[in-house]
Amino acid sequence: MNEKRLKAVIRLMRRVQEKGGKIDLRGWQKTGGDLAVKTEATAHKCGTVCCVAGWIGISPDFKAAGGIINAYSGGPHFMNSFGAAAIAKYLQVELGTAEQICGLVEGGGRFNARFYGVPLRDVTPLIVAERLTKLLETGE
């Protein structure tokens, strides 16, 4: 687990919460347009809703590490991997853990609420930050 990057994601989720940003774990980005937004600032300005991986993909820390996003979907790419696999490589966690962070059932691609303890529609950036803090502190 890359503690520095996980802490950066926790800070990101707290920023998203403070700025009124929203999370929807059912898609990388929901922009209302044809192209994905490329920066966190733009996402806040135009009210873009992202999943956790979508927010990570437009974060300065992810970009500084060499990550990029798909220009249309907003899904993250990192070290020749896409989606949850990219998040796994970025955070240096098991793929199953990254899938849970993204709200997916391990290996199944279906949505899963167990990791966050609330229905996916009720997941907030603050809930994500708190859950990732627990992961950082306990490894679970």
- Count how many domains the chain has: 1
What is the reported pLDDT for 133? Answer: 97
pTM for this entry = 0.90
Q: How far is CA 71 from CA 36, 84, 131, in A?
A: 5, 17, 29
What is the reported pLDDT for 81? Answer: 96
pLDDT tens digits, 34-80:
678 888 888 878 777 888 999 999 999 999 999 999 988 889 999 99
- b/e per residue 53-70 (b: at least 16 CB within 10 A): bbbbbbbebbeebebebb
What is the reported pLDDT for 76? Answer: 94
Q: Give strand ranges (E) for 12-126.
A: 29-30, 49-50, 68-69, 76-78, 81-82
Domain of residue 72, residue span: 3-138
What average pLDDT does the chain have? 88
pLDDT bucket at 119, cuts 50 / 70 / 90: confident
CA–CA separation, 47 and 9 (whole Å): 20
